[in-house]
Structure 1
Amino acid sequence: MMVLSVVAMSAAFAGAGAAVKTQDIGDAGPTYNERSDLENKDVWIGQEVTLELEEEYTSLQIRQGSTYDEDDDVVLENRVDTSDNTVTFDSSELEAGNPYNLNLTGGTTDSKWNGVVFWLESEDLETEFTSSTVTQEGNATVSLTSDRANQWVNVTADSLDADDLEDVFSSNDNSDVSVENTDSDEDRVTLNVTDVTTYDDNDIEFSADFSDIDAGEYEFDFETTDSLAADNATVEVIQDDAEVEFEGDATGEQGEIIDITVSTQYVDSGAVQIGELENYNFQAATEFEINEDDLNEVTLQFNTNAPRATDAEDAWSLHPKHDDHDIELDNQAVNASALDEFEPLGAYDYEMQAGTDLNTSTTYDDNYYINDNDVTDTAFFDVSEPSPVGDVTTQVAPAGDDVFDYKDFNESTITDSDVVADGDHLLLSVDSFDQSGLVDSWKAEESVGEDLGNQSINITIEEQDPGPNVDAEVWTTNPDQADEEDYNLINVSPAHTDTEEYDGDLPLVIEYDDADEELEADASYDLTYSVSEDSPYVSDEDEEIEIEDEFTLEKPELEWNDNAEEVPNSEDAEVTGDTNVAPGSEISTKARSGGNFTDSEDAIVAEDGTFTATYDFSEYDAGITFDLTATHADRNKFDDEYDSNLEDEIESTLVDAAEPLIQLDTSAPSEVTVGDDATLDVTVANNGGAADEVEIGVDIADEPVDSQNVTLEPDEEWTQSYSFDTSEAGDISWGVTAGDDSASGTLSVVEEEPTDDSGSDDSGSDDSGSDDSGSDDSGSDDSGSDDSGSDDDDDSTPGFGVAVAAIALLAAAMLALRRQD
């Protein structure tokens, strides 16, 4: 397409081309007989303007400017035709984009035309066929854009005579465009184009019929009859029928957004219909138009999640891969009246039809459809039952990370964990949730508990140990799905809703810090993900889903390891600490020695909860002491009460990096239940610069379990684990020595708490055994467990066996003694 005109520079288009006395087809320009018809109006460059004068004058003078001044230069002067008292001037001799004023001379009185100002503008005329091809039996659409409201346009085309052109344009579908003249001598037609500026963007469209035109490529020239505006447009007429074909069946699960890919041939638009109301109790359809060359395949999407509750324009969409393509959807329609409001499209094979056009002549039940003679292909829209949810997993992310966007979520450190530091993000990952159609309707960081409830999906949290004489606190995402009468509302929000990146696993952020009732730190909670039989995805109670998990909410902690108290004066000296904040969190560290140095380094929390900062102390002598500080870089994201928990400072000393630096690290639980696995993990590291032989000793329950001499090279470590015997309740002491370093501790092995009222007696027994009063030696644990066994059960007294009664009396006596103490 080539534009031969210049874009108009004036905004004075109102009334353009109006108020002329006469302008017949073929006239070179308008004729004016009233001053007001021309005053401050537009004249299009190229037009010949005629003025009908009220009496005799000699000449017309034209000066440039929006006001008349006789001292200004005359830029154009024409003689008046005294035979009819008219004067004509050719606007081509003037410059577009400027105002001009008129003055008549040689008359006996001042003319009414004196001082009239008009604006000379270039008409912007653009024409194109909206589709580059058209079949011999089809219609193409012509788009004409102009700043001018009304005009005559001559149309010619190579290889087409006047009769051909009349056939092409005479039956167009726009009443504002008509064929006004057919010139066989010039092989052209003249179109009367009116009311252009009433259309959006001054763009008027009308059809062109090529049913009687031979195949081939045709270039049409459009020229206004009175101005210099002109343009051309090309279209290819083809013999083959237009086709819209499916690239295959469309498949997906209930609740998903399902892709429908179609290809086009010899056409840039088409239609797709899913189902038929009469046969499937469901019907949906849409049209599409491809507004760019060399694109003959398009992927449509249909949301099966809740078609009755979803607007048709939202149910139909283009695949995100077309975001940069010029494709339009139009006339979207959905009829899912047979479904419940939030019910997904039923699992079934629905027939699809593709065609060149969608019949929208009726809006009854939004029942748009493709006419039989316009159908070019068929396929199936295969909706299957959804796969069950795989599992739910609690995850954590650093408090300072933004997780409510796919890019940010993808860049954050997301770690599977059942422990969350109070203030970090707590997430619930629902494996194989799918339902991309539901996810697509959400917005990140907005609560979706109600939407999940509409699917009869609920997430509940219940504290594990509420304490004596009180019920456990319960939190729910949807009150309508809560089993308990007393509950607190808790919100969950999707981390991201980018369905192009969505893989079926749903990450939900649990807003535990904004719940109706605050979750207490240093407490454990049961978490349940449930789908009841009322869900449209569950057919009966046998298919109900209930997946349980648990997590512990801890107060955030951060501290340096003991081995940070001595640091080698090397160029890569590492100082290490421990924390329970989320892996990926940033820890700011600082080393400061008055009069010697101040330095800082950042560290990142590793998956095992450690953080390590590396310093260059190679310029400083051994023996220098310094303050070593570690601070959570985003501690402002936590409650103020945790400020001190998220900072630790110790005094450290530089040691000679050329000497061995033996450092001991141990790890063991403080309490386990009888029968649980428990280990003592020992690591001895040489963080110095020389090898050393280290004597290592390990004692458990006052018995040596290991003793050996180990030679450690620089940066070498020795690691070993030792199992505790947890078959009986009691305290187990342990100790480790490594050269001059040592560590010790106690593991308490306790009975599992009973679930009935008798547990109050057991707890008393445990209390009495926790000090050195000898309750363990008295046999309250060992003898009690033997006596309450299966022996002599037949001789038991009503309610109590003899042995059990004796134990009860003994426990009561000891409790009385303790109270006296």
Structure 2
Amino acid sequence: MSSGDTVTVTVDNVENPSSGSSTDIEVDLNPQSNDNPSTVTTAFGSTTNPNDNAVVYDTEATNNVDLIYSGQEFNATELQADEEYELRSVDETSGNDITSSTFEDTYTSNGNGEIIGISTDGLETGDYYIDGPGVTATTNNTIEIVEQTFSTEFDADSVDNEGSTTVDLNVNSNRNNFDVIVESEDFDYDDPELEDIFGEGFTYNVDDDDEEFVLTGVSDDAATNFSDIDEGQYNFTFTVADTGVEDDASIDVNSVGAGEADLSQGTTSVQQGDYGTFTVTMNSAAEGGDATVLIGDEDADGYQANITVTDDDSDGEVTFAFNTYKAGNTSATDDQMVTLVGDSVGEDEISFDGQSSLNDILDTGDYIISVGTNDDPAEVLDSPDNVGTLVINERQTPEQQLWRTSTATLEDVETAAGDDDVDAASAITTAVENDQVTQTDTLALDPDGTNDDVMVHQLTAPGLSGLLGAAESGEVTSEFTAALDTSNTYGDANLSVVLEEENPGANQDPATLDLNASGLSDALTVIADGEGNYYVFVDYSSVEDTDYEDSDLTFEDGDDVTADISVQDTRLLDIDTDDVDGDEASEDYYQTASANFSVEEVEGSFNLNEDDLVAVTASEDAMVEGTTNVAPGTEFTVRVQSTGDTEPRFFETQTVTVQADGSFNATFDLSDQSAGDEFTASVRQAGFSLSEDGVVVESVSTATPTATATATATEGDDATETATATATATATATATEADDSTPTETATETSTSTPGFGAVLAVIALIGAALLAVRRDN
């Protein structure tokens, strides 16, 4: 077809097809260059080809944009070649059509159909479009010009030129990824100090052609660093490269002198094998930087460890622990050698930079600690900022103390151990204060194996923390059980925990529980307190649930048991394995802490009147009391249920907790009952079975007379030495008034102790001394 050829299309009345009316549409199939092939006019109005976005707008950095910023230049492409076009601003639109516009400038496209370098200078913000051959005046062909917002400000008014030398430059803009020219009267564009200041946080380019220092691809805030910059005020002008928007920012640089590191404590003393804890302090010039710490001097001590600490949180302190057990073991990992502790955990950094090799554990004695901000260990050793001393002492012999507790308290301790915000050792201390963990020489075991006491073996063993990796207080169960499983030079475990019956029957092997046996790790929970104490919780119910093949584990009522915890690690004990054989090591070098306890079968009873009945009053706080030999803190349920002809009927339960003296009590609301009503009292979910008959009475009265005896001894003429002891005996008389019942007196003796501190022994000693003084006087 030639120019001007057309085709006619007949369209029925789309609004009312039944009317029979139709409309003819004439379409030019070969339009001239000035014709518009995108638009068809019909009786129904003008329609637009959806593909009428003939113009593509580009910037120097980005293709196909629909928004540019005032000051930028842009290009119009996909036009007809060598044609004249107009840039027009949009005044009004109707739907997708531009109905009113204003002429701004004229441009001629090149041979590729492009207009290059259209300037936005002098143009107000708003919508613009290129109009001319092949272009439709629609909103699809517009580009929007907007104003770039831009501001800069340093995050602080001043910064130090040593120590904490970084400060953020805050950049705020409604645009991302643009270039910024940096200018200052204090620096030439190619001054290396500009690179030092801005090169840490920004990507930059030194443009020698335009003599500009340019930050490239700026999108957000970034750090600047004024380390070693001269003291004074510095003013900077920041200009967006392609839009010309600019802003100023100033900062004062303080001269604080040379950075210096020190130790918060001049002397640190540890037992051989323990962690030594150090806090490196930094003055204001060194805050936020690095410090070198040298433990020992290779020439003077035969050992040296090099450590670098980084004050990431800029608080001037880094606290870390150094493992004297692993010292000299060049196969030890960095985190086995040093670890951040205290407030430095998660805030600072530490790196272990090497150590001398030793065949044995680090010897006892004094080791110099050198610290400095120089990153060269040789320089710090020759000229340290400050020095301290690490004193390694002989290990003390381990000791063992026995405690017992309930499974409920053990669960509380395990929960605390799993909470990063709670100190598990403090949970034990709280349980001791609340009489839920008590010193003991007995253990109550349930024949069914489901409600046993939990024994707590307190192992006091200074020097063990390095072997267990226990730099701080917390749970070390996995480390402890690993030491039980790992063999030393002679094939023995590094640690051993063995419980053995001391009074087996005739011709019977003693019952033995070897916690080194496989499969028993689930029965152990081990907590370190950071002071050389390790609390080994042994849940005997869990032991009995395991497939324990090494013995029958037949601890039962009346057994006397010895618990031996042995330290057998040849490195920790510094055994000369070339000259000492295994049997000699076991007899003369292994260190064992022993403790003894007796086994009782779990039992309990209710307090009864002279008729062997549980007597309670008809009141809101009717109390059922009893005693048991299970561990304080143990919980179980007490139930009361009406029997016989009692009306109204009742059935109530209460959870009780065993107190330090073995007593328990449950309170029930029996205010609707009457004297003579009968019931049964029983326990549930306990290690013992207990059920007794009970009766409701008019009243239960208790009298508590107290007798106090005081002994005073005076010795000497002019000098007087007086010792006074006070003993208190308490008798409780309980009278039950019901029918012909007679009062029953029950004497109760109560002893209390504070576990771990020997308070009871001290009081007994004081009383004994006083009584002895009286006897001597007489």
For this structure pair, what is the TM-score category when the shorter chain's length is used for normalisation? 0.5 to 0.7
Q: Which residue of structure 2 aligns with residue 750 of structure 1?
A: none
Q: Which residue of structure 2 aligns with residue 177 of structure 1?
A: 204
Q: Which residue of structure 2 aligns with residue 287 of structure 1?
A: 309
Alpha-carbon offset, residue 258 of structure 1: 1.2
Alpha-carbon offset, residue 262 of structure 1: 1.4
Alpha-carbon offset, residue 93 of structure 1: 5.9
* Separation in 1, partners of 2:477, 2:145: 56
* Separation in 2, partners of 1:458, 1:608: 33
Q: Which residue of structure 2 aligns with residue 622 of structure 1?
A: 675
Write out aligned runs for 1:117-156 (5 A): 133-135=159-161, 140-141=165-166, 151-156=179-184
- 1:510 counterpart SS class: strand
Unaligned 5+ segments in structure 1 are 1-31, 184-188, 360-367, 480-486, 636-644, 663-680, 695-710, 722-821
- Whether the 8 Å CA contact 1:449–1:491 is kept in 2: the answer is no
166, 173, 176: which one pairs with 2:191? 166
Q: Which residue of structure 1 aligns with residue 334 of structure 2?
A: 312
- 2:97 counterpart SS class: coil
- Whether the 8 Å CA contact 2:628–2:663 is kept in 1: the answer is yes
Q: Which residue of structure 2 aligns with residue 556 of structure 1?
A: 602
- Whether the 8 Å CA contact 2:370–2:381 is kept in 1: the answer is no
Q: Which residue of structure 1 aligns with residue 697 of structure 2?
A: 655
- 1:301 counterpart SS class: strand
* Separation in 2, partners of 1:383, 1:220: 56
- 1:579/1:154 Cα in 2 relative to 1: closer, same or farther (>3 Å)? same
- 1:114/1:47 Cα in 2 relative to 1: closer, same or farther (>3 Å)? same
557, 572, 589: which one pairs with 2:638? 589
* Separation in 1, partners of 2:572, 2:159: 47
385, 396, 414: which one pairs with 2:437? 414
- 2:298 counterpart SS class: helix
- Whether the 8 Å CA contact 2:279–2:317 is kept in 1: the answer is no
Alignment of 1:104 onto 2:157:
no
- 1:35/1:132 Cα in 2 relative to 1: closer, same or farther (>3 Å)? closer
Q: Which residue of structure 1 aligns with residue 253 of structure 2?
A: 236
- 1:577/1:219 Cα in 2 relative to 1: closer, same or farther (>3 Å)? farther
- Whether the 8 Å CA contact 1:177–1:206 is kept in 2: the answer is no
- Whether the 8 Å CA contact 1:443–1:496 is kept in 2: the answer is yes
- Whether the 8 Å CA contact 1:462–1:527 is kept in 2: the answer is yes
Alpha-carbon offset, residue 552 of structure 1: 4.2
Q: Which residue of structure 2 aligns with residue 752 of structure 1?
A: none
Per-residue displacement from partner, 1:625-674 (whole Å, max 9, x unpaired)? 11222223xx5xxxxxxxxx544222201222178999xxxxxxxxxxxx
Alpha-carbon offset, residue 320 of structure 1: 2.0
Alpha-carbon offset, residue 135 of structure 1: 3.7
- 1:38 counterpart SS class: coil
Q: Which residue of structure 1 aligns with residue 460 of structure 2?
A: 431
Larger deviation, residues 146-155 vs 520-529: 146-155
* Separation in 1, partners of 2:371, 2:461: 32
Q: Which residue of structure 1 aligns with residue 495 of structure 2?
A: 457
TM-score (norm 2): 0.63
- Whether the 8 Å CA contact 1:129–1:234 is kept in 2: the answer is no
- 1:568/1:46 Cα in 2 relative to 1: closer, same or farther (>3 Å)? same
Write out aligned runs for 1:606-685 (5 A): 606-617=659-670, 619-632=672-685, 645-657=687-699, 685=733
527, 541, 562: which one pairs with 1:526? 562
Write out aligned runs for 1:691-706 (5 A): none
- Whether the 8 Å CA contact 1:603–1:611 is kept in 2: the answer is yes
- 1:58 counterpart SS class: strand
Q: Which residue of structure 1 aligns with residue 527 of structure 2?
A: 496
- 2:483 counterpart SS class: helix
Q: Which residue of structure 2 aligns with residue 265 of structure 1?
A: 284
- Whether the 8 Å CA contact 1:258–1:303 is kept in 2: the answer is no
* Separation in 2, partners of 1:658, 1:330: 69
Alpha-carbon offset, residue 105 of structure 1: 0.7
Alignment of 1:476 onto 2:528:
no
Q: Which residue of structure 2 aligns with residue 545 of structure 1?
A: 591
- Whether the 8 Å CA contact 1:624–1:654 is kept in 2: the answer is yes
* Separation in 2, partners of 1:162, 1:278: 47
Q: Which residue of structure 2 aligns with residue 392 of structure 1?
A: 401
- Whether the 8 Å CA contact 1:133–1:267 is kept in 2: the answer is no
Per-residue displacement from partner, 1:363-409 (whole Å, max 9, x unpaired)? xxxxx666579842222233333333233324333356413221654
Could you tell me which amino acid in structure 2 is paired with residue 425 of structure 1? Answer: V
Identity of aligned residues (%): 19
- Whether the 8 Å CA contact 2:291–2:310 is kept in 1: the answer is yes
- 1:352/1:328 Cα in 2 relative to 1: closer, same or farther (>3 Å)? same
- Whether the 8 Å CA contact 1:285–1:369 is kept in 2: the answer is no
Per-residue displacement from partner, 1:46-85 (whole Å, max 9, x unpaired)? 5523226664443346889xxx984379999853456986
Q: Which residue of structure 2 aligns with residue 708 of structure 1?
A: none
Alignment of 1:354 onto 2:371:
yes
- Whether the 8 Å CA contact 1:49–1:88 is kept in 2: the answer is yes
Alignment of 1:251 onto 2:264:
no
- 1:207/1:265 Cα in 2 relative to 1: closer, same or farther (>3 Å)? closer
- 1:332/1:425 Cα in 2 relative to 1: closer, same or farther (>3 Å)? same
* Separation in 2, partners of 1:91, 1:425: 86
Larger deviation, residues 270-279 vs 646-655: 270-279
Per-residue displacement from partner, 1:248-287 (whole Å, max 9, x unpaired)? 3241313124132413232322313123573342313113
- 1:448 counterpart SS class: helix
Per-residue displacement from partner, 1:394-451 (whole Å, max 9, x unpaired)? 4333356413221654554212223133433222111254644435378555362332
* Separation in 1, partners of 2:667, 2:258: 73
- Whether the 8 Å CA contact 2:234–2:251 is kept in 1: the answer is yes
* Separation in 1, partners of 2:203, 2:670: 86
- 2:193 counterpart SS class: helix
Could you tell me which amino acid in structure 2 is paired with residue 450 of structure 1? Answer: A
Q: Which residue of structure 2 aligns with residue 751 of structure 1?
A: none
- 1:349 counterpart SS class: strand
Per-residue displacement from partner, 1:192-220 (whole Å, max 9, x unpaired)? 334779xxxx8866755645x2x345465
Could you tell me which amino acid in structure 2 is paired with residue 105 of structure 1? Answer: D
Alpha-carbon offset, residue 583 of structure 1: 0.8
- 1:36/1:263 Cα in 2 relative to 1: closer, same or farther (>3 Å)? closer
Write out aligned runs for 1:627-776 (5 A): 627-632=680-685, 645-657=687-699, 685-688=733-736, 718=747
Alpha-carbon offset, residue 510 of structure 1: 2.3
Alpha-carbon offset, residue 522 of structure 1: 1.4
225, 233, 245: which one pairs with 2:241? 225
* Separation in 2, partners of 1:379, 1:443: 31
Alpha-carbon offset, residue 545 of structure 1: 1.9
- 1:153/1:209 Cα in 2 relative to 1: closer, same or farther (>3 Å)? farther
* Separation in 2, partners of 1:287, 1:76: 67
Identify which of structures 1 and 2 has the higher relative contact order when contacts are C-alpha pairs closer than 8 Å and 6+ apart.
Answer: 2
* Separation in 1, partners of 2:101, 2:666: 83
Q: Which residue of structure 1 aligns with residue 213 of structure 2?
A: 191
Could you tell me which amino acid in structure 2 is paired with residue 506 of structure 1? Answer: Y
Alignment size in residue pairs: 593
- Whether the 8 Å CA contact 1:457–1:529 is kept in 2: the answer is yes
- Whether the 8 Å CA contact 2:161–2:227 is kept in 1: the answer is no
Alignment of 1:575 onto 2:617:
no
- 1:539/1:79 Cα in 2 relative to 1: closer, same or farther (>3 Å)? same
- 1:408/1:327 Cα in 2 relative to 1: closer, same or farther (>3 Å)? closer
- Whether the 8 Å CA contact 2:233–2:251 is kept in 1: the answer is yes
* Separation in 1, partners of 2:116, 2:459: 90
